[in-house]
Amino acid sequence: MIKRIFFDYDESIISTVFREPNQNHIRFSLNDGEIYYTMIRPCAKRVIEFSRKLVGVENVFVLTAATKDYACEINRLAQFAFPESQILAREDVSAYTYSTAYGGSAVVASEYANKDNVLIDNLDPRYNPDKISYLGIWKTLDTNYFKVRDYYGANFPNDPFEQDVMEFLEKRNNQ
């Protein structure tokens, strides 16, 4: 059984660029004055809704390396309907970061940590140690980490993302 499902934003279910793309996008700016152009993977809302039905609305989260204001604005504009408490961003993970020897850092498990959490992300796990530690899934990476293809705004009609993620979640939830 899955405890909680966490979705990464950038290059997983959205793609943000700083130049207006020649395709459907949302446009916004934050206090930094930068203009963001974000493309949403066409099936993103369906996959999120499927996940909510599978494990309950209260058990589906965003976990992103982006800032909280950016993540919340995308949530609002894309109409993903995550409560702010279920949008975990850079600031949330950094609260669990500590300094190690020789200027390094590491992340300890958060209050969300559970071996039955699942992370859907485009990064290879070896490049994602902070999120993995934060969620407490080091020992269950083989079954609880689903690496998706990078999404850069290209909407291919045969993109297997939706089917692949749903099959992974169903299979993992039935274990």
CA 146-138-109 angle, 5° bins? 110
Write down the pTM of the prediction.
Answer: 0.96
Helices (DSSP H) in 1-128: which residue ranges?
44-55, 68-78, 90-94
Spans of the chain below 70 pLDDT: none
Residue 157, pLDDT score? 86
Spatial contact of 121 and 147, defined as CB atoms under 8 Å apart: yes
DSSP state of 49: H
Spatial contact of 119 and 137, defined as CB atoms under 8 Å apart: yes
Residue 174, pLDDT score? 95
Q: Where are the beta strands (DSSP E) in 51-155?
A: 60-63, 87-88, 97-99, 105-107, 118-121, 145-147
Residue with tokens 């963001």: 36
Q: CB count, 10 Å around CB of 175?
A: 9
Whole-angstrom distance, CA of residue 162 vs CA of residue 45? 10
Q: What is the pLDDT of residues 37-87, one digit of tens each?
A: 999 999 999 999 999 999 999 999 999 999 999 999 999 999 999 999 999
